[in-house]
């Protein structure tokens, strides 16, 4: 049973790697990530508890990677966090716009 589980895991990882490579090679953009995903990572960047994760089988997000995304977008981490945390009527559009700015900076499609 353990061998079967390990084989299935290996096949799953290989398929993710092929999907990412094919998407990059043929100009397809990977699906964008949610406002909640980006909010979590900006919170970690700002020093709140939590850990960075690995999106779409890409390298793990780090402070340096987020520095680059923030520079590309042209906002501070606090401004990005405030936009990703916006609540109230019509604020979903603001959260989505900021998430899609991060998605574009990361080379992903829109959410």
Residues 38 and 19 grouped into a single domain: no
Structural domain includes residue 73: yes
Q: Model confidence over 55-74: pLDDT tens digits?
A: 888 888 999 999 999 999 99
Q: How many folded domains does the chain comprise?
A: 2
Structural domain includes residue 111: no
- Answer yes or no: are the C-beta atoms of 30 and 56 closer than 8 Å: yes
Residues 40 and 74 grouped into a single domain: yes
- State pTM to two decimals: 0.73
Residues 57 and 36 grouped into a single domain: yes
Structural domain includes residue 47: yes
pLDDT over 70 percentage in the chain: 75
With bands split at pLDDT 50, 70 and 90, how would you rate the model's confidence at 2? Answer: low
Residues 79 and 59 grouped into a single domain: yes
* Domain interval for residue 56: 31-106
Give the whole-angstrom CA distance, residue 60 versus residue 55: 7
Structural domain includes residue 63: yes
Question: CA nearest 105: which of 78, 55, 71?
Answer: 71
pLDDT at 5 over 90: no
Q: Which two tokens stand for residue 39?
A: 């909010």
Residues 14 and 35 grouped into a single domain: no
Q: In the prediction, which pLDDT does 29 show?
A: 79
Give the whole-angstrom CA distance, residue 67 versus residue 52: 14
How large is the average pLDDT for residues 11-19? 41
Residues 43 and 6 grouped into a single domain: no
Q: In the prediction, which pLDDT does 6 show?
A: 45
Residues 14 and 57 grouped into a single domain: no
Q: In the prediction, which pLDDT does 8 show?
A: 42
Residues 9 and 49 grouped into a single domain: no
DSSP string, 61-96: P-HHHHHHHHHHHT--HHHHHHHHT--STTHHHHHH
Q: In the prediction, which pLDDT does 3 show?
A: 55
Residues 94 and 63 grouped into a single domain: yes
């Amino acid at each position: 049973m353990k061998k079967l589980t390990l084989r299935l895991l290996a096949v799953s990882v290989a398929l993710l790697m092929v999907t990412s490579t094919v998407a990059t090679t043929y100009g397809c953009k990977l699906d964008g990530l949610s406002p909640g995903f980006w909010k979590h990572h900006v919170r970690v960047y700002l020093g709140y508890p939590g850990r960075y994760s690995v999106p779409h089988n890409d390298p793990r997000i780090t402070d340096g990677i987020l520095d680059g995304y923030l520079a590309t977008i042209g906002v501070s981490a606090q401004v990005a966090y405030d936009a990703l945390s916006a609540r109230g009527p019509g604020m979903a559009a603001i959260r989505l716009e900021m998430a899609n700015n991060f998605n574009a900076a990361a080379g992903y499609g829109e959410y």
